[in-house]
Every structure is written in structure tokens, then in C-alpha cells.
Structure 1
């Protein structure tokens, strides 16, 4: 059994990030494929919100070490203000100070064969880069999202720090993996001399957690409820045109409008949603709900009449991790996203055609009307798409990549 040191900020009991599933499920299934994970994460005080509901999913006996870390905005600010350099590349810069000596101690104690780190939280790649440089171990850099983008981060100094960390990761890591085809292609174009060290490793769903998540009664008996599970970002998942489309539907097809409900589970920006809904006079069909435990969220997906995807064109190289959970939930899916983006491509390849641009009010209204008329028309993922997206299968891919990387390093 080979060991791998996995550096991840998002790990139970953190709450509010779907990214926790990637590391957690890899850690759960890697031993089946000959790899024992050693988890290096952040002290729980660094997490703004926590929940114990997924701690039981960490396999018994797994070594999980929490290095000292603070959140600059919450722990180091005075009067709500703090120097910018204390939050570059991110607010968890202090994690590097605690994780490097902790990581070196783990390397001495457990002799891992490789290092793995996952972004976003850019500091994770900084930690891995330092440990790689000091230990000589092969490094696999995991990019759940692209890093330095044309319009992100907005602050020039932060953008420079992202670009510097990204460049170091791509150039020094033995392998860099990406979750979407467009992100992979973007980095192949950006780093043409490193194309052989870049690979695709998509997100997925965990069959085990779905098996234990019981479905129940419809969310609103007698109504059709579309559920959006997760954060509604004001830019990347801008709900403005969706809310305007509801007003259009209310005026053109009031009977259909009256059957519809849209539930936003843990959207974070509930005030934005309600302000938009009140402005357009559609607050009677909008509801926002607080965070719930992970398995309860999966069960809610299975109870919904339909599942809603929001993804703006500025995220065409990204796919919401929950899309694969939507597939497995087996419910109709309505995708409001750019038809040219990876989210839409993935939906179409799964047999889903209920797609409208997130910024096209008329197209969204038409999509909602078709859903209300025939919820199953063009909205269901194929059995093949569902079977191909399991976390266990993705972990088998990762294990093959790790085996090949370690073999090359030893040659």
C-alpha cells in the first residue's frame, strides 16, 4: 500500500463548499486501489461554518492532521480592516506557515510516495510546492477551477499571486489535473511545453451516500418545484434574468406560473433573490432555505420535481460539481447556462436538452413553460451518463495516474 499526502483546505467538518466531496471521496476509495491517504488540512477555526454530518464518512483509521491556520478577515482584522498582503493569495495565507513544518513531519513519519494538493484555496498549492521542493516527492496539482483568469481575481496584486502560484504548479508538478475539458484545453494553450503533464479528472457523485439518502414526498404536493441546491453567486450564477423570466411567464401563462415553485437551498445571497423577486412581483413562487446536512440535501434533490442549474458564460470552463449529483438523483434537470460552455456540453452528452442561456429572459421563460407542461421532456440524464460519473470510478482513474506518476519519478 503506497501512501499519498493530500493537501486540502476543504475537508469535514467544513460546511458550504461542494469541493469537500472531491477530497473526501478520493480519500474514501483510494485504499481500494492501493493508496493510503494522509490528509493535511486546516485547523477547524479557519472554517467560517462547520457541520459534523460528514465526519463519519472519513474512513476509520485515516490520518487527518489539521495544521494551524487563521482566516485573515475574521481573526486578523482590526475594525473590519486588514492589510491586503495578509490575504494574498487568499485569506488563509497563515495556513502555509503551519502546514509546511507539519507536512515535513508527516513526510518523515509516513514516507508518502507522492503529494497531492487541490485548488481553490490557492494556499494549498503553495504548501505543496514548498513540500515538493524540500522533499523531492512527485506532486500532483488538482485544479477544481482555473486559477488566473482574464477577469479574476479582480485585484491586480492578488491576480499576480495567483498567476505566480499557477505557473509554479504547472511547471513543477509531475501532473496537473482539471475537472473540465475546456479548462484542460485552456491550460494546454497557456503552457504548450507542459501538455504531457496535464490531464482530465472530472467530478462525480458518490453512490454510497445516495444509497443511504432516502427520498420522500414531493416538496410541494400539487405544485412543480424546481430546486437549486447551493450558492447563488451574483455574477457566476446571476439570477436576474431567471427572476425576470418568471415575471414574463406570470404575464403570458398565469395558470402555468401558478403551478411553479423555485426553491433555493443554501443560496447565501437570499437578500438578492428576494429583492429581485419583489421587484418583479414573483416572490410568491420563490423560497430560500438554510443549509442542511449533506445526505438531507441529496434526499431533497430526489424529492424535487426538477433540479435547476445556474452557470454564467464567464464560467464556461467550469462545471458545477453538483451537476453529477443531479444526474444520479434521477430527477428532471433544467440547465440555465451558455450552450457553448462545458456545463451545457456535459448536459447534452447526458441526453439533456432543456438548456437556455442564463442571460436570456425569453429563452428561460420558454424553458420553464416546457418543463411545467412536460417535466420529463429533454430533462433526464441517460443511464450511461449516470453510471460513468461515479466517484469510485473517478478514484480508479486517479489511482492509475498516481501509479504512472510514481513509476516515472522512479525511472
Structure 2
């Protein structure tokens, strides 16, 4: 059994991030392919929210080591203000101070064959880079999202650090892994001398979690069609204004009314914004804002919804929401509000999604809503086939990662 040291900030008991699933499922499934994980993560003190619901899914045989870390905005702020340099490249940069010495101890103890670190917490790549440089162990840099982008991060000094970190990762790592074809292509163009070391391992869904989720086939709200968005609604990357404006017009026309429709936003993280927009467009009776629930309960809700809503702005064309894979596995009709030329639209189109419109195009969104509501009423809305759904399982992604590790160590 070969070993991999996995550096990941997103790990149970952290709550509120879909990024946990990628690392957790790799940790569960890599031993089936000859790789024993050792996890190096942060102390829960650094987490904004915690929940015990996924702790029981961490294999008891997996060594999990939690390095001391603070959240700058939470622990090092005075009156809500803190020194900007103490939060670069991110608010958890203090994690590196303890994680690098602990990581070297783990390397001496377990002698891993590969180091793997995962972004979007940039400090994880800082840790991975230092451990690889000091130990000589091959390093795999996992990018769940692109790093330095046009206008992101907005702070110029933070952007410079992001650029430095991604440059070091792509140039020095044995392989850099991206979760979408668009992101991988973008980085091959950025770093043509290292294009051969860039791979794609997409996100996916966990079949065991779906099997354990209750699917009673009972309607979420009897007598109504329910359209569910599960997860964070970002004000810019998933700007809901065109959707709410379109819903307002359809309500006035009697196409989508509160008597027959309920649009559910589960764990949006921006309920105040959504409430304000619902009032502005006079659709408060259509919109239902719901708090976070346990992961398997969220999957059960997906399985029972009449339709599932994806929102992704064109500025994120090289990204795919992790929820999209769970939506495909739920095998419920999907309304996709995403740029038709982006990776999210490509994934869902290949899964058989019929209704797709650019999120920023208010009139196209209105047309997609009309079409989707008609398909649901007539019972003609398509869902992904079993074969398509199975191709996006976490098991298949873990096999891809194990094969990459095998290739690196020969």
C-alpha cells in the first residue's frame, strides 16, 4: 500500500462547503486502489461553522492530523478590522505556521510517496509547496477553481500572491489537477511549458450517500411544483436578479403563481439579499428561504423536488458547481441558467438537460422558465440516464486520481 499525504482545509467537521466532499470521498476510496491517505488539515477552531454529521464517514483507519490555525477575521480582528497582510493569501494563512512542521513530522513518520494539496484555500498550496521542497516528495496541486483571474481577487496585493502561488504550483508540482476542461485549457494556455503536467479530474457524487438518503417520493409541498436551488447564491457569480425579474413577469401573467409553484433556496448564505429582491419583484409568496440541513437530508430534498435549479454566471464558465453532479444523480428535471458555451452548460447538456439559458439574459431566463413549467405540467421533462449518472460517480474520479499517483511514482 502506497501512501499520500493530503493537505486539505475543507474536511469534517467543517460545515457549509461542498469542497469537503472531494477530499472526504478520495480519503474513503483511495485504499481500494492501493493508496493509504494521511490527512493534514486545520484545527476546527479556524472554521466558521462546524457540524458532526460527516465526521462518522471519515475512516477510523485514516490518520487525521489537525494543525493549529486561526481565522484572521474572527480571531485577530479588533472591532471587526484587521491588518490586511494578515489575511493574505487568505484568512487562514496562520495555518501554515504549524502545518509545515507537522507535515514534515508526518513525512518522516509515514514516508508518503506523494503529497496532494487542494485549493481554493490558497494556504493549502503554500503548505504543499514547502513540504515538497523540503522533502523531495512529488507534489500534486489540486485546483477546484482557477486562482488568479481577471478582477479576482479584487485586492491587487492578494492577486499578486495568488499569481505567485499558482505559478509555483504549476511549474514545480509533478501534476496540476483541475476540475473542468475549461480551467485546464486556460492553464495550458497560461503555462504552455507545463501543459503536459495538467490533468482534469472532475467533481462527482457519492453513491453511498445517495443510497443512505431517504427517498419517499412524497412531494415536498403537495399540490405545488417545487423548484429547488441547493447551496450558496453568490451575488455576482450567481446573480439572481434576472431570474427574479423573470419570475415577477410570469407571476403577473399567471404562468407561475404561489398557488401552484414554490421556488426553494436551501442554505443560500444570502437570504437577506434574496428577501430584498423578492420584495422588489413582488414574488415573496413564490420564494421560500430555508436554512442549512445535514448533507443526506439535502440529498433527500433533491430526490423529492419536482425540479432542480442551477445558476452559474458567464464569469465562471471554466467552473462547474459541485451540486450539478448531485443534481444529475438525483435524476430530477434540471433548469440550467448558465452560459451555453461554458463548462456547466456543457456538462448538463450532455446529461440531457432540455432547458438552458444564460443567467444574465433576463428574457432568455423567462423563456426557459416557461418551457420548464410546461414540461413539468405535461410530465415530459427529461432526466439523466443511469449510465450518464454513473459516469460522474466519485468512485470513478478516485480511480482517475489513483492512476495519476501511480503514473507519478512509476
Partner of 1:186: 186
Q: After TM superposition, give the deviation of residue 197 of structure 1 in Å.
A: 0.4
Alignment-derived partner of residue 164 in structure 2: 164
Looking at structure 1, the residues matched to 152 and 380 of structure 2 have their Cα atoms a distance apart, in angstroms, of 37
Contact 1:225 1:260 in 2 (8 A): yes
Q: Are the equivalent residues in 2 in contact too, given 1:312–1:338 (CA < 8 A)?
A: yes
- How far off its partner does 1:99 sit? 0.3
SS in 2 for 1:53: coil
Report what 1:52 is aligned to.
Answer: 52
Structure 2 partner of 1:327: 328
Q: Are the structure 2 counterparts of residues 377 and 147 from structure 1 closer, same or farther at C-alpha, using a change threshold of 3 Å?
A: farther
How far apart are 1:383 and its partner, in Å? 2.4
* Structure-2 change in CA distance of 1:316 and 1:255 (3 Å): closer
- Aligned pairs for 1:351-370 (under 5 A) are 351-370=352-371
SS in 2 for 1:374: helix
Q: Contact 1:334–1:379 (CA<8 Å) still a contact in 2?
A: no
TM-superposed deviation, 1:257: 6.2
TM-score of the two chains, using structure 1 as the length reference: 0.97
Question: 1:386 is matched with which residue?
Answer: 389
Is the 1:260–1:372 contact (alpha carbons within 8 Å) kept by the matching residues of 2?
no
Q: How does 1:269-348 map to 2 (within 5 A)?
A: 269-348=270-349
Please give the secondary structure, in 1, of the residue aligned with 2:341: coil
Name the count of aligned residue pairs: 407
Partner SS, residue 3 of structure 1: strand
SS in 1 for 2:53: helix
Displacement after TM superposition at 1:252 (Å) = 2.4
Could you list the runs of 5+ residues in structure 2 that have no partner in the other structure? none
Q: Deviations over 1:52-98 (max 9, x none)?
A: 00011111211000000000000001111111110000000000001
Distance 1:248 1:209 in 2: 39
Does 390-399 or 247-256 show the bigger shift? 247-256
Q: Residues 258-306 of structure 1: CA distance to partner in whole angstroms, max 9, x if unpaired?
A: 4221100000100100100001100001011111000000001001111
Secondary structure of the residue that 2:104 maps to in structure 1?
A: helix
Contact 1:256–1:369 (8 Å) recurs in 2: no
1:93-242 aligned at under 5 Å gives the runs 93-216=93-216, 217-242=218-243
Contact 1:249 1:257 in 2 (8 A): no
Q: Cα deviations across residues 233-265 of structure 1 (Å, max 9, x unaligned)?
A: 000111011100101101223466642211000
RMSD: 1.0
SS at match of 1:137: coil
In structure 1, runs of 5+ residues without a counterpart are none
Cα distance in structure 1, aligned partners of 2:38 and 2:250: 52
Take 1:161 and 1:285, find their aligned partners in 2: how far apart are those partners?
A: 44
